[in-house]
Amino acid sequence: MILGIDIGTTTTKAVSVENGKLVKKIKTRAADAVTSATGAFGKLVLENGIRMSDIEGIIITGAGSSKLGKEIFGIPARRVDEITAIGIGGMFLSGKDHIIIANVGTGTAIIEAEEGSIVHLGGSGVGGGTVQGLAKKLLPVSDFSGIMALAAGGNLKQVDLLLEDIMDTRLSFLDGETTASNFGKMLDSAAPGDIARGLLNMAYQVIGMLSVFAAKSKNLDRVIVTGRGSNNPIGKQVLSVITGMYGVEFEYPPDAEYTTAAGAGLSVKAGSSFAS
Ligand SMILES: Nc1ncnc2c1ncn2[C@@H]1O[C@H](COP(=O)(O)OP(=O)(O)OP(=O)(O)O)[C@@H](O)[C@H]1O
Ligand SMILES: [Mg+2]
């Protein structure tokens, strides 16, 4: 068995991979990379009754992975580049062999992946961290479930300047409800729920439009959304409106939060040994 550990900017994820399949998964948080990785390792092993002797090797990736050495508790360890891990994990979880991936974590990375070629197309600092960071100053809550609860009752028309606010007709293919300027209206009567809605709308519009341009530049019409930000009902609504406008579909594979860790574990091809 191979373990994949993704030391993300915010969360560390660990998975076990056997015969090319994702078997167990856990996530944890810690202040520093070493505690995070060893903690995730311990949690995965203890909670799932994994025997140390069954672990062939550990593959580490993510922002914090450079802090770790060639062995963890006597088990051989090595690093894989995060973009490669996201590409491998995204192809595996989506079951598709030529895709655009929008990995929405603390920030957002956009990747084109196909067999034999994984390319980092670019990305944006706008991700889950942006929503939470702004929430700290703008809202009475900053945990994600609190932001979502507030946003559920929010009204975008209180904060965003919409096309219908500034013109009577459509603008090319855009209808009146389209955002002309995120937070460009911000009425004095805007309530925290409206602002929460506006924050999520802004983040997912940026993520969605970057993804659309990436997909179109590669003649693809599908984007696989991964990372913790893939599991956000309001974000999905925003992205579905973008699908309606641009014809690019967004897909949310199961276990998308574990894409990077899974890709690390799967970067050793099924059937070949860790050392090769
Ligand atoms: N329901 C949610 N919807 C969207 N974002 C969320 C949700 N819950 C948590 N987040 C955000 O997800 C981010 C963490 O996601 P993830 O674990 O994929 O990132 P990471 O791997 O730690 O970061 P990165 O990949 O950018 O290094 C945090 O910034 C958090 O604010
Ligand atoms: Mg990540």
Pocket residue to mutate for ligand 1, from 228, 231, 255, most atoms within 8 A of Cβ: 228
pLDDT for 156-215, tens place per residue?
A: 999 999 999 999 888 888 888 999 999 999 999 999 999 999 999 999 999 999 999 999
Q: How confident is the model at residue 31 (pLDDT cuts 50, 70, 90)?
A: confident
Pocket residue to mutate for ligand 1, from 10, 150, 199, most atoms within 8 A of Cβ: 10
pLDDT at position 276 is: 60
Structure tokens, 135:
């929430």
The response to whether residue 154 sits with its C-beta less than 6 Å from ligand 1 reads no
Give the chain's domains with CATH numbers.
2-83+259-265 (3.30.420.40), 96-252 (3.30.420.40)
**Ligand with the closest atom to the CA of 256:** 1
pLDDT for 224-243, tens place per residue?
A: 999 999 999 999 999 999 99
Q: d(Cα 6, Cα 73) in Å, to the nearest integer?
A: 17
The response to whether residue 233 sits with its C-beta less than 6 Å from ligand 1 reads no
**Ligand with the closest atom to the CA of 123:** 1
**Confidence (pTM):** 0.95
- Please give the mean pLDDT across all residues of the chain: 95
pLDDT at position 270 is: 62
pLDDT for 52-105, tens place per residue?
A: 999 999 999 998 888 888 899 999 999 999 999 999 999 999 999 999 999 999
The response to whether residue 10 sits with its C-beta less than 6 Å from ligand 1 reads yes
As a dihedral over the C-alpha atoms of residue 255, residue 260, residue 266, residue 267, rounded to 10 degrees, the angle is 170
